[in-house]
Amino acid sequence: MTAVRHSRQRDAIYTELCSRGDHPTADELYATLRQTMPNLSLATVYRNLHQLAEAGQGNILYTSAADHFDAVMKPHYHLYCRQCHRIYDADIPLISEIDRAAQNCTQADIDSYSLVFEGICEHCANQH
Amino acid sequence: MTAVRHSRQRDAIYTELCSRGDHPTADELYATLRQTMPNLSLATVYRNLHQLAEAGQGNILYTSAADHFDAVMKPHYHLYCRQCHRIYDADIPLISEIDRAAQNCTQADIDSYSLVFEGICEHCANQH
DNA sequence: ATTTGTGCAAAATTTTTGCATTCTC
DNA sequence: GAGAATGCAAAAATTTTGCACAAAT
């Protein structure tokens, strides 16, 4: 059991991340924190963000340094394999409840959504 | 009405993208296509990918050059505003049908998922 | 012919790393 | 004091751009 270490920077990053309603990029976070910690380094922000994500205290949305492209226009879901970092089409039927929920949302004018399941793909699971 | 132009490269990119089950990065696509088009340029791949996406013939998964981070661990959904490119927490109750669907999937061992709704946020909608 | 696309190389962005120093436990 | 975290600057990796030339309508 490794206790999570604390540092002024890490705590500030985590606190700031929790207190914001939006989901900033590392750079946006850095820009904000820099106002009170002028010596903060962007590398520290990156390091901590990834560490937090690994420790299960944070999430990386839109992870991966590279964008992934898709040509299938028929609505469908995706499957992200945590092991091989590939994205597959999920063989999962559309869920109408999601559209219904989007319709009922007053917070924004939603016209689509993307659903990405995460786990270990068949191929990687069989590699043991 | 602008007809979509064709070029050897664009057609090859589109065809390859459609025929693959995975969702390659620009670079992966480039590597494959290069085998039959040795002069193909990576820049061309990027240009066409974005063009296809704009024309509604393709999708950019995990778009945006920058990763977005999130500290809220309680499961929740996200809202991506196409106008301001920000990501908000969606005020939408959890949909149990999604978990059920994940459970039934034999294609992979799914343990989580991320749902991102897309549209125009309240704030941007009011700016007109 | 005119417009649009391509390749190449250079620039801009975003993210990661190496290393000496500083901070936590 | 040992191990971990930081800052800085340099390196990688990813994406975009400028421009001369080629291709498409």
Higher pLDDT, B112 or A96: A96
Amino acid at A105: C
Higher pLDDT, A3 or A34: A34
What is chain A's Cα-based Rg?
A: 18
Structural domain boundaries of chain B? 8-70, 77-126
Distance CA A117, CA B98 (A): 9
Secondary element (H or E) of residue B27: helix B26-34
Is the Cβ–Cβ distance between B62 and A67 less than 8 Å?
yes
CA torsion, ordered A23, A110, A72, A96, to nearest 10 deg: 110
Q: Which two tokens stand for residue A12?
A: 């500030």
Could B22 and A86 be called an inter-chain contact, meaning their C-beta atoms sit closer than 8 Å? Answer: yes
D6 nearest neighbour residue (CA to C1') = A44
Backbone angles phi, psi at A108, to 5 degrees: -160, 165
Q: Which two tokens stand for residue B4?
A: 């979509």
Per-residue pLDDT at B62: 45
Residue B4's contacts (CB-CB under 8 Å, 6 or more residues apart) are B55, B57
pLDDT tops 70 at residue B80: yes
> Global pTM?
0.71
Write out which nucleotides of chain D lie closer than 7 A to a protein Cβ: 4-10, 13-18, 23-25
Higher pLDDT, B101 or A2: B101
Give the nearest partner residue to A60 out of B26, B69, B92, using CB atoms.
B69
- Give the range with max mean pLDDT: A78-87, A110-119, B30-39, B80-89: B30-39
Q: Give the residues across from B77 on adjacent strands.
A: B90
Which tens digits make up the pLDDT trace of A22-64? Answer: 777 888 889 999 999 999 999 999 999 888 877 765 555 544 4
Q: Which two tokens stand for residue A93?
A: 């039927």
Distance CA A100, CA A103 (A): 5
Structural fold of domain A77-126: Dna Ligase; domain 1 (3.30.1490)
Per-residue pLDDT at A21: 66
Per-residue pLDDT at B101: 94
Q: Does the A8-70 domain belong in CATH 1.10.10.10?
A: yes
Give the nearest partner residue to A107 out of B52, B79, B95, using CB atoms.
B79
Which tens digits make up the pLDDT trace of A76-107? Answer: 888 877 777 777 888 899 999 999 999 999 98
Per-residue pLDDT at A35: 93
Q: Are strands A87-90 and A77-81 parallel, antiparallel or unpaired?
A: antiparallel
Q: How far apart are the first and last CA of chain A?
A: 26
Alpha helix stretches (DSSP H) within B35-126: 42-54, 96-103, 122-125
Write down the residue that tokens 């791949």 correspond to: B45
Distance CA A84, CA B51 (A): 28
